[in-house]
Amino acid sequence: MKYDRKRWYLWVVYTLGYVTRYDDILTDVDGDKINYNPHFDRRHNVNIVSSYTFGSDLNWEANFRWNLGSGFPFTQTQGVFEKYLFSDGINTDYTTENGEVGFIYGPLNNGRLPTYHRMDLTLKRKFELSDNSTLEAVVSITNVYNRQNIFYFDRARYKRVDQLPLLPTAGVSLTF
């Protein structure tokens, strides 16, 4: 849905997607070929984008963006074990060697990450310096309500790593 009238612009969209992959190589424990959801399969996605132009010369613009998406698929960890490398081959003393952390994975992309949502705000001001040059100043805030959206899970450290926190930015550009 799109609304564009005078100083207001509003765009709202919902998408529903089912992405599956079959590559003729991957098999399950019984040796059967599998279909799976790739890491970019996002079932539900909602975007709301709005802008409002204001000021006596219409040189101010306020922008709003909100995004909601269902979680992406991921492969869950089923177990952790000590993995020996046998760096000296048959002469390796496995009773004193320290191994690396090894992981046993569950079915490919059978889990789902948590739901994602974020709101961003931007305020712009244009300054007409001459017929051929414009200065534009911008301030924005990404992730206004500081939502902790997962980026990935560090299996080795058993720690969740989140995306951007509340992030204010400012910039200036000159066009001539």
Q: pLDDT digits over 41-71, tens only?
A: 999 999 999 999 999 999 999 999 999 999 9
pLDDT value, residue 119: 98
**pLDDT confidence tier of residue 31, bands split at 50, 70 and 90:** confident
CA atoms within 13 A on the CB side of 155: 14
pLDDT value, residue 33: 85
Q: Is pLDDT of 23 > 80?
A: no
Domain range annotation of the chain: 2-73+112-175
- CA 112 to centroid of chain Cα atoms: 14
The pTM of this model reads 0.80
pLDDT value, residue 46: 98
Query: pLDDT tens digits for 93-104?
Result: 888 888 889 999
